[in-house]
A = this chain, B = another copy of it.
């Protein structure tokens, strides 16, 4: 890694940690520089603005997660297996870099509107998988967005509570339960 690239990576990591501990708005460029052991002006050699740095961080992770989830589900034929693959991939992703994961989770409301329409999207991946399973008759047909949201919530809410400090240990420890529960949600038949 060249020196410039190393500096850029240090800025990104320092910013990430501070953005999660406080928030983007409450983190100053001076703090980022101090944490990255560089001068404040150096940030602007690598990023046009603090907001763009925050957005870059979000979008890169957003796209990479979507691609990883899509690759994970693709080889499997049945919805049940796709769910397991997606859940496992998601938990591994979160455990591998928890700070980055937490940043992505806590700042969706700020950046989701700025994701390009054609960019890979984690929710769209799940949405498509569920839609095809409904068409194939694997699960009952209902509002896809609603079903996807509820199934995603089964995994995302525990993850959120781990960010809040309510849980310890790796998220992947509960992969089995998450997959079973997500499947149960999708298989619900209105009584």
Contacts and interface: CB of A to CB of B under 8 A. Distances in A.
A29 interface: no
B164 A146 contact: no
Contacts of A191: 180
Nearest to A178: B150
A163 B184 CA distance: 25
Q: Which of under 10, 10 to 19, 20 to 34, or 35 or more describes the interface residues of A?
A: 35 or more
B164 A157 contact: no
A17 interface: no
Interface in A151-165: 152-158, 160-161, 163-165
Given A161-B145, A190-B176, A109 B106 contact: yes
Interface in A130-163: 142, 145-146, 149-150, 152-158, 160-161, 163
A44 interface: no
B153 A109 contact: no
Given A23-B110, A184-B188, 19 more contacts: A109-B164, A112-B164, A145-B166, A145-B167, A146-B167, A149-B157, A149-B158, A149-B160, A149-B161, A149-B166, A149-B167, A150-B181, A153-B153, A153-B158, A153-B160, A177-B190, A180-B190, A184-B184, A185-B185
